[in-house]
Amino acid sequence: MSTEVQRRQLISRRLREARQLAGLSQGQVAKMMGMHRPTISEIEAGNRRVSADEIARFADIYDVSTGYLLGDAPDILAMDDPRLQLAARELAKLSPDALDGLLRALAAVRTEGDEEAED
């Protein structure tokens, strides 16, 4: 597999993950971007190239850096990232049952993502 194809797959995966983490549907993002929903699907599948302007707009919508979307930044958060600190504070407020439910949901999402990667 060529480096260009691998990079396009990385970008498409990060765009999909960032959208999901932002809690947005493809339809919602398409409306914000002035695109059709199938266009977002094609981008996330790696079948359509994304312009620099589009990457910048996606980064703004998903509240991530363009470097992250382009694969130039690590896919993990640094311990001093304010988003990670906010998430930790919010998780601490959850009841044990709510936290268990959230962890099960995260495990299901991760398992679903692993299955898609195998296809």
- Let me know: does 33 contact 61? Beta carbons within 8 Å: yes
Q: For the chain, what are the domain ranges?
A: 1-75, 77-119
What's the rounded Cα separation, in Å, for the pair 33 and 40? 9
| Top CATH class, 1-75 | mainly alpha
Whether pTM > 0.85 for this model: the answer is no
Q: From residue 49, how far is each of 10, 21, 42, 100 by CA, in Å?
A: 12, 22, 9, 39
pLDDT by residue for the chain (119 residues), tens only, comes to 578 888 899 999 999 988 888 889 999 999 999 999 999 999 999 999 999 999 999 999 988 889 889 988 765 556 666 777 778 888 889 898 988 888 888 777 765 544 554 44
Q: How far is CA 104 from the centre of its chain?
A: 19
